């Protein structure tokens, strides 16, 4: 089952700067082979449901190993059977709607 997802991982109990931990997760994603893109409020992911979830779980495990005592993660995950759709196509659909409106 293909999915498009986003996750935001919040390490708790390790102070106010979290970028070090997010960078470790990016490394895990890089090695996962999934399509991903970091943005200001999380990381978008595209691929098989199991591979996506496995990568997020690996982030939790790695961060706990690094000494993070508590982690809170928010995941958005979407699946559809009506058609295949990539992350790029989702954004392009909205852009196309905006342009058709602008040209009216």
* Residues contributing to the site for a copy of itself (CB under 8 A): 1, 4-6, 8, 10, 12-13, 15-20, 22-23, 26-27, 37-42, 44, 46, 49, 53, 57, 60-61, 64, 68-82, 87-88, 90-91, 93-98, 101
Enter the DSSP assignment of 45. Answer: E
Task: Round to whole Å and give the CA distance between 66 and 22.
Answer: 12
Q: How far is the CB of 34 from a copy of itself (least distance, A)?
A: 13
Task: Round to whole Å and give the CA distance between 6 and 82.
Answer: 21
Q: How far is the CB of 86 from a copy of itself (least distance, A)?
A: 8
């Amino acid at each position: 089952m293909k999915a498009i997802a986003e996750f935001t991982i919040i390490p708790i109990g390790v102070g106010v700067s979290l970028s070090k931990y997010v960078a470790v997760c990016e490394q895990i994603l890089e090695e996962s082979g999934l399509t991903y893109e970091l943005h200001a409020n999380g990381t978008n992911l595209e691929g098989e449901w199991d591979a996506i979830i496995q990568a997020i779980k690996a982030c939790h495990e790695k961060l706990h190993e690094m000494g993070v005592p508590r982690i809170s993660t928010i995941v958005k995950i979407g699946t559809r059977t009506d058609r295949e759709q990539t992350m790029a196509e989702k954004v392009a659909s909205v852009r196309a709607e905006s342009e058709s409106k602008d040209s009216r």
